[in-house]
Amino acid sequence: MARPMIKEAGMASLLLENPYYGYRKPRDQLRSSLKNVSDLFVMGGALILESTVLLRWLEREGYWPLGMTGISMGGYMASLAVTNWPKPIPLIPCLSWSTASSVFTTGVLSKAVNWTQLEKQYAINSRYEEEIIKLLEYCGADSFKMGPKLLTNVEEHFYDLSEDHKLSVSQYTRVDGGSDCGGARDGAEHLLSLGNSVGANFETLPAALSGYNTHGRKTDPAECCRPSLHKESISFMKGVMDECTHMANFSVPVDTSLIIVVQAKEDAYVPRTGVVSLQEIWPGCEVRYLKGGHISAYLFKQNIFRQAIYDAFDRFCVKYPDLH
């Protein structure tokens, strides 16, 4: 993407590598498969902070106009960064949408989640049901209660994967508060506070404690095998993901007319069914749909991504010629 844009439009790029990717990947992490669900929240908080620092540095160095873009996870992270930027700025998220909940509960990547481990942790630790569920609320809608509506479209079997492709969740020990949709909030602080409230994974606890929950009560083995446990775990995952990643929980960008979203019509990695659209969250933004799925769009439609970038920058220059 960066090299063609130099040739086509004389547009330079600053490439920010996501935490947990490339050279920033932990040594014990396999490729891009995050070890803990909380890593995703820490990644988002770090990207908001780092993007803000880099944008301010570019401003001081005299670069203008500035914009944010990314593909797939990168598009989502670019969106997070712009929600925390106090000025109008072009935003072009490609192959990403409004929340990560559908990605990990109904999309292709849901098959790479270690549901067996998540179900075990959910059953053992009573705080999930007794405390955290009550905090999973955004914009007046209870995410946890919304979860079962999606389960009719979720396959029941996720257990035939190798350990190399599974993702596990850490044990929650404390959450400081719910979401606030009424006004601006510090997105990085929100994500990092939730991420830092996560403690050790159950696999790291002493074996003697494995049969007890956090309140010291012996866990009934039947609880780990109850028929509804899988559905409850999926619903809980959706609630946690919506609470921590839903764009409706972050500030609306200053000028949504500078946002051009590029989506694939047959994207199985980022399902849009049952999810609030970005057009509802960001009134005035444009959504462009291209034929194909997530992978084919990434491999063969990057020229469409670049055109959206050029169009968004042109809008900015026409609308804010003196904003420098």
- Average pLDDT of the residues in 66-94: 96
Whether the per-residue pLDDT at 157 is higher than 50: the answer is no
Query: Which pairs from 51-56 meet CB under 8 Å and 24+ separation?
Result: 51/16, 51/77, 51/78, 51/81, 51/84, 51/85, 52/81, 52/84, 52/85, 52/188, 54/14, 54/16, 55/81, 55/85, 55/89
CATH number of the domain residue 281 falls in: 3.40.50
Kindly state whether residue 79 falls inside one of the protein's structural domains. Answer: yes
pLDDT at 129: 73
pLDDT at 225: 58
What is the domain range of residue 215? Answer: 2-319
The span from the CA of 322 to the CA of 6, in Å, is 24
The span from the CA of 186 to the CA of 86, in Å, is 12
Tokens 């839903």 locate to 246
- Average pLDDT of the residues in 75-79: 96
| Tally of structural domains, the chain | 1
- Average pLDDT of the residues in 165-169: 39
The span from the CA of 255 to the CA of 258, in Å, is 6
Kindly state whether residue 89 falls inside one of the protein's structural domains. Answer: yes
More confident residue, 292 or 18: 292
Helix, strand, coil % over all residues of the chain, rounded to 5? 50, 10, 40
Whether the per-residue pLDDT at 31 is higher than 70: the answer is yes
The predicted-structure confidence for 125-146, as pLDDT tens digits, reads as follows: 877 777 777 767 543 343 434 4
Kindly state whether residue 115 falls inside one of the protein's structural domains. Answer: yes
pLDDT at 324: 64
Kindly state whether residue 324 falls inside one of the protein's structural domains. Answer: no
